[in-house]
Amino acid sequence: MPTDRFPETGEHPVLIVLHQERSSPGRVGQLLVEKGYRLDIRRPVLGDRLPSTLAEHAGAVVFGGPMSANDTDDFVKTEINWLDVPLREKRPLLGICLGAQMLVRQLGGKVQANADGSTEIGWYPLRPTEKGRLLMHWPKMVYHFHREGFDLPHGAELLAEGDTYPNQAFRYGGHAWGLQFHAELTRAMMHRWVVHGAHRFILPNAQQGREHLEGRMLFDAPLKAWLNEFLDIVFEGKTSKSVATSRAVLPA
């Protein structure tokens, strides 16, 4: 039976939804495992079915992919419709890039590219809103790889903004979260994206591969630290303040 209570760490697995055969949950998966969660990895694009309820899961993370939330493929429409399950049951839900855009579509918002065709491919500044600052401390630069952005759905709270695509992070209903940027990339994942995505570097506003890798050396450490605390907020209902307090009382 659906409940507002967050399950104890490790009691149920986190549902991981990926969109390519070789996709990985990256640092999100690594950090969740370190926190004591098991992972239930499914790829609907390859025929995996999504559960009819999340009663036996601690929540779900829907990752990015090369497709668009506006595509007419059956699996895209089915996955967008499925997002009603965690929303209705008030289970922790995190959408990253495509996952966030699918969540926006489920909530009635629009996903579309800028009229000038501008992209965010590389490292770009992030600005938390007042509500975002009350929640936690945010990194100043984040990594992107997308050509479309999204409207802020009705009833959602905007947590962070950007220059090219203004809506970068939002919360809906206290349980659902959407991120336009990527904090999950490991070093190996970024190298793979730079190699296989090099044809996109000619797009408007895209950065070149060397800028992706140089930016990682400068900006990745605070992004990883942010992700670690953010996952505690999403899956354990903690605030940044409560995380800091709990760490302060740990024995040395």
The CATH number for 138's domain is: 3.40.50.880
Tell me the per-residue pLDDT of 110-126, one tens digit each, with 9 for 90 and over.
999 999 999 999 999 99
Q: How much is the average pLDDT of 154-167?
A: 98
In a domain, 57, yes or no: yes
Task: Give the total number of structural domains in the chain.
Answer: 1
Residue 27's CB is within 10 A of a number of other CB atoms, namely: 22
Residue 239's pLDDT band (cuts 50, 70, 90): low
DSSP state of 182: B
Q: How much is the average pLDDT of 1-21?
A: 70
% pLDDT > 90, the chain: 89
Which residue from 231, 127, 133 is spatially nearest to 184, judged by alpha carbons? 231
In a domain, 102, yes or no: yes
**72 has a pLDDT exceeding 50:** yes
| Whole-number pLDDT of residue 11 | 82
CA–CA gap between residue 103 and residue 83 (Å, rounded): 7
Q: Which domain holds residue 20?
A: 14-248
**5 has a pLDDT exceeding 80:** no
Catalytic machinery residues = 97, 182, 184
Average pLDDT, the chain: 92
In a domain, 3, yes or no: no
**6 has a pLDDT exceeding 60:** no
In a domain, 4, yes or no: no
